[in-house]
Structure 1
């Protein structure tokens, strides 16, 4: 009995299709729209920003043919020599030092408490999530009422209130913005930890209890290692969203005040690129920010996400 085999050309074509589509072409078909979305929304703008940052780029009328000569690293030199840009990167560093650890600690602690059998658990879960889905403008209005010079917080503190007040104090403006962002986004990260806690086996808690571990030791030795992948995700997401800070300082401090003390790189990028009409400078700031975030994410992935 003779076994028929496909000709070499057909086998080569099949091999190429397997490499392109993978072993599950249906899965590839489902993923393709999202890949196209990522390419259109993220990859193309990033590539175009890199192009702009190496040219003397400026806005022109639609259809106009203008020269945009290659200038090499001149835009990057101008960015790195700009005190406002350097201060903005320092500001976002302060923001991340406050926001990321605070987000991890509070969201994990609250998620662990909300995961227990407590009364009104659903109510508390919804309460923590409401600020996250509320429009930033509405929530900012509440915080301005609380933290302005004659606000509720200063009225409660009395003589202990800072002078100048929180959002107009060069030393307290960015920490106040960091606390606000932590509070507003807390509900989202609590949900991430709540989902991760469902995968921690109850048998581990029972074994720890039989070994004489109390609540704190069980939390530290069972819960924390059990949600390590979620912690890695929380740290990375908090870092990326924090590095892209724009709305909060723009609304809370009137555009990065006082005197740039709460300005973020994205805010300065908007000011230089859009308001001042220097998109090449704004693109250079954006590229430097992307590089910095990638380096920071790799470091965090290395230390936070490492296996025990």
Structure 2
């Protein structure tokens, strides 16, 4: 029993509510999605008995043969290449600055965190005001403004969304790094200063290695949340425009499964996305945690 339950079985009582939460909110829907992906599934009225034939891997074949789905995975790859390094670099540098004794430090900490807790619809409205064809940014740039404009330009829309998401979520990742910086011994900075290291040198040789576990967490969270991108392209570009240049896999999954009624195909897209994110996360963890 001790081997099965551990030395303190009472701990199972404390974790039971979260286990139930995970099972109900994540495990059960994931199992249903796996089941749906192998059937010609469509939604029907509650209580209605309809035939949903087994189709095997046909939904997965349809996923890999659909140009819109393949384009969405390419879009999210572009997004992650921009968003993840930008998130890690900016949040670490800003957290280091905000961890120092600077004037108005509390004000700056709150300022960076406010966009993260602000409703996406409200913040998207501000960015539409800035980057519309007749928005503030184009008016300031004048003849230097891109043509077509930012959100209707197939080459600029996904990088702009990546910058937007980086800015909006930056406060959360700064908070993670601020917590990690409290565990870096101050003696290491003092030793580096005695050895003649500059602030930049101390940053690279003391701060960066000292917060490596936090960096692993930031990379994993940024990758997972970025791969599940939906709200931003849906609101900023009116559903993945122009011509699917900003469509994400989750957005295409919504369009296929909900709007077009091909729930089996939508579930298959979700399963492919889960596998891709899992592989990327494992690679990131291996690269960041190795000696």
For the criterion TM > 0.5, the same-fold answer is: yes
Which 4+ residue blocks in structure 1 deviate beyond 6 angstroms? none
Q: What is the CA–CA distance in structure 2 between the aligned matches of 1:76 and 1:30, rounded to whole Å?
A: 40
1:123 paired to 2:107: yes
CA contact (8 A) 1:22 1:28 kept: no
Q: What is the match of residue 219 of structure 2?
A: 235
> For the aligned residues, what is the CA RMSD?
0.8
Q: What is the match of residue 209 of structure 2?
A: 225
Q: What is the match of residue 35 of structure 2?
A: 51
Q: What is the CA–CA distance in structure 2 between the aligned matches of 1:20 and 1:271, rounded to whole Å?
A: 45
Q: What is the CA–CA distance in structure 2 between the aligned matches of 1:252 and 1:288, rounded to whole Å?
A: 25
| Residues 87-125 of structure 1 deviation map (CA, whole Å, 9 limit, x = unaligned) | 000000000000000000000000000000000000000
Gaps of 5+ in 2: none
Q: What is the match of residue 130 of structure 2?
A: 146
Q: What is the match of residue 256 of structure 2?
A: 272
Q: What is the match of residue 87 of structure 2?
A: 103
Larger mean CA deviation between 101-110 and 149-158 belongs to: 149-158
| Residues 240-285 of structure 1 deviation map (CA, whole Å, 9 limit, x = unaligned) | 0000000000000000000000000000000000000110010000
Q: What is the CA–CA distance in structure 2 between the aligned matches of 1:46 and 1:291, rounded to whole Å?
A: 12
The secondary structure found in structure 1 opposite 2:289 is coil
**How far off is 1:200 after superposition?**
0.3
Q: What is the CA–CA distance in structure 1 between the aligned matches of 2:161 and 2:102, rounded to whole Å?
A: 32
TM-score in terms of structure 1 length: 0.93
| Residues 5-36 of structure 1 deviation map (CA, whole Å, 9 limit, x = unaligned) | xxxxxxxxxx3xx2332211122211111011
Q: What is the match of residue 53 of structure 2?
A: 69
How many pairs are equivalent? 291
Q: What is the CA–CA distance in structure 1 between the aligned matches of 2:26 and 2:63, rounded to whole Å?
A: 23
| Residues 141-174 of structure 1 deviation map (CA, whole Å, 9 limit, x = unaligned) | 0000000111111112111110001000000000
Q: What is the match of residue 284 of structure 1?
A: 268
Matches within 5 A, 1:1-308: 15=1, 18-307=2-291
Q: What is the CA–CA distance in structure 2 between the aligned matches of 1:92 and 1:100, rounded to whole Å?
A: 11
CA contact (8 A) 1:177 1:248 kept: yes
Q: What is the CA–CA distance in structure 1 between the aligned matches of 2:8 and 2:88, rounded to whole Å?
A: 37
Q: What is the match of residue 9 of structure 1?
A: none
**How far off is 1:187 after superposition?**
0.2
